[in-house]
Structure 1
Amino acid sequence: MRKYEIFKIKSEYQSFIMGRERLLFELLAVGPSTNYQEIEYLCDQLNEMEIDQIIRHKLSKCFDKIDSHRNEYRLTHLIKGEVFIKLGTHCIEVYCQGSRMLDLDLFVALSTATDRFFAVMNEQEECGWLKPVKYSERMILENTLV
């Protein structure tokens, strides 16, 4: 089973974090409850209705069955496997069992909403943007913020 923690980085810190993702990983890898003040400072609070809409409308096309209760979702695909999603205030916890295509389906759906989602996979010590900003876009972004 693969576990991800996904955060929505505040827009004012996105350009600063680019190129420093490993430092952010070290901060987030400890766990959202341990470094809550830092996470609250760097990450936006999640909009539950926005995430719910993404899961129900965009992912319903990719999955055979979607069950939900409060802020928890179980998405089932008969061939690919299962995804369990739990929404927190600043973090989306995701558990995937089965094909890695499950992860990709979720990442693509979330990245359609914004390019500020950042995922951490502690067990494999991996991290990254769900929708990486291209170098030319990054230069434009940095130049407009200066």
Structure 2
Amino acid sequence: MRHYEMYFIKQDVASEYAGKETLLYHLFSERKRALFVEEKSLLDKQVSFITEPVCEEDLNKYIVNELGGFRTYEFRNDGHRLSIKQSQSDASLFVRREKLNLYSSGSNDAETVFFEVIRKLTPSFFAIDFQSGRYGWLNPIKQQKLV
């Protein structure tokens, strides 16, 4: 099973860190591994400073509206679930104020559907799969080229 955490990064921070995704990954990774209360508290403050809270109600309504046409989609118990039988793909998405959690198994078809729906909202959602060490923007942010 794959697990992704997705954070809504403030737009100015996202623009500044386009091309420097490794630095963001290290911040979130250090926060996850922090053992001491003081260290975790400092890292929590840093993450809070660069992220925006997610409006759970609005995002849930948006996802239901976007995916309601799928026969194998359901929204219940504050979670979205999508199964794609042909490719034996399952994914569940949980929207929380501080982050989105996506759990998937089988092929990546169902998780890709969730990623595509979320990436339409804003370019500054940053996804992390800590287990595999994969991370990146759901919608790549273009760096400005200064002449």
TM-score interval for Structure 1 and Structure 2 normalised by the shorter chain: 0.7 to 0.9
Q: What are structure 1's unaligned runs of at least 5 residues?
A: none
Does residue 139 (structure 1) correspond to residue 144 (structure 2)? The answer is: yes
Q: Distance in 1 between matches of 2:16 and 2:82?
A: 34
Give CA-to-partner distance per residue, 1:48-100, whole Å, 9 cap, x none.
1232123211123345131311x323223333422122222211011011211
**What TM-score do the two structures reach when normalised by structure 2?**
0.82
Show the counterpart of 1:95. 103
- Shifted more, 84-93 versus 1-10: the winner is 84-93
Instruction: Give the TM-score normalised by structure 1.
Output: 0.82
Distance in 2 between residues matched to 1:86 and 1:23, nearest whole Å: 25
Corresponding residue SS for 1:45: coil
Residue 77 (structure 1) aligned with residue 47 (structure 2): no
Note the aligned Cα RMSD (angstroms).
2.3
Q: Which residue of 1 aligns with 2:32?
A: 31
Specify every segment of 5 or more residues in structure 2 that has no aligned partner in the other structure, as ranges.
35-39
2:125 matched to 1:120? no
Aligned residues of 2:90 and 2:111 also touching (Cα < 8 A): no
Give aligned-pair identity as a percent.
Answer: 22
Provide the residue aligned with 1:13 in structure 2: 13
**Counterpart secondary structure, 2:74:** strand
- Please say if 1:3 is aligned against 2:3: yes
Q: Would you say the 8 A contact 1:107–1:130 is kept in 2?
A: yes
1-side partners of 2:66 and 2:33: how far apart? 27
- Greater mean deviation of Cα atoms: 32-41 or 47-56: 32-41
- Please, which of 53, 59, 65 is the counterpart of residue 51 of structure 1? 59
State the structure with more CA Rg. 2
Q: How many residues align?
A: 138
Q: Which runs of 4+ in 1 moved over 4 A?
A: none
* Alpha-carbon separation, structure 2, partners of 1:39 and 1:61: 35
